[in-house]
Amino acid sequence: MFKKHTKQHIVRFKEFDEARKYIEDNHTDINMSMEAVDYIVNHKEYYYLLKKLYEKIEKNDLPLELAEYILSRLSGKLKREEDFELLYKILKTQNTKYIEPIKEFLRSNSCFLKNFLFKLLENSDANMRLIAVQSLKQCVQITVKNRLKKHFYKEKDKKVLNEIIKYFEIFGTDEEIKKLKNNLQEQIR
């Protein structure tokens, strides 16, 4: 039969240390770990959460769904230079298990993280530059278009160049696309 819906009591941590336990030990009860993430985000301790994310990713000690959850809750929250430094460190970890959630985070926050991504575009590592272009594609702004066009002419990596061309195949004029493709052909020769 049908029952009427009733509101539920929700878990409330009384203090930071109580929540912290479920972040430090995230294997006991993932639901409690998620509640702890929410508590910490509500208390604006973003750097702490990001730091834990980094440490645990390095040790491969974090369930993937919890990594995704933490990243989703940090959406639109990172603003300080130290946050970005840590975000970069997370990107640089060799742990490929977490790379998709991290890339998804960058993509979904691309406009918010525009300056971080512009900086990544200048990175010496072509993989980083590729991630930057793929993420910036989601931020549909003239400043992004202009920046990618400018970058194209100094980029040497073919994968990155092709990714920029893919961007212009959506957002560029026929003339722009032709010019970029011609330029790529010249580079290949």
Partner 1 sequence: MIEIPISTLKKIRDFLHIKTGIYIDDNKLESSYKRKIIKLMEEEKYTDPEKFFHDIAFKKNSRLLQNFIDTSTINETYFFREEHQFRTLINYVLPELDSIRDPSETINILSAPCSTGEEVYSIAIYLMEEGELIKKRDFTLLGIDIDSKAIKKAKEGIYSERSLNKVPEHLRKKYFYKEENVYKVKEFLREAVSFEVVNVLDKYKMKRLGKFDVIFSRNMLIYFTEKDRNEVIYTFYNMLKDNGYLFLGHAERIPSSIKVFKQQKLGESFVYKKVS
Q: x-or-dash pattern for partner 1, window 68-87, by CB under 8 A?
A: xx--xx-xx-----------
- Residue 109 binds partner 1 (CB under 8 A): yes
Confirm if 179 and 170 have CB atoms less than 8 A apart. no
d(CA 110, CA 78): 12
Supply the minimum distance, in Å, between the C-beta of residue 11 and partner 1. Answer: 9
Supply the minimum distance, in Å, between the C-beta of residue 62 and partner 1. Answer: 13
Token pair, residue 108, equals: 């979904």
Q: What residues contact 130, with CB distance under 8 A and at least 6 apart?
A: 157, 159, 160, 163
- Residue 52 binds partner 1 (CB under 8 A): no
Residues, the chain, total?
189
Supply the minimum distance, in Å, between the C-beta of residue 124 and partner 1. Answer: 25
Supply the minimum distance, in Å, between the C-beta of residue 189 and partner 1. Answer: 27
Cβ–Cβ contacts within 10 Å for residue 144, how many? 21
Confirm if 129 and 155 have CB atoms less than 8 A apart. yes
Binding residues for partner 1, rule: CB under 8 A, are: 1-5, 7-8, 10, 31, 34, 38, 64-65, 68-69, 72-73, 75-76, 100-101, 103-104, 107-110, 112, 137-138, 140-142, 145, 169-171, 173-174
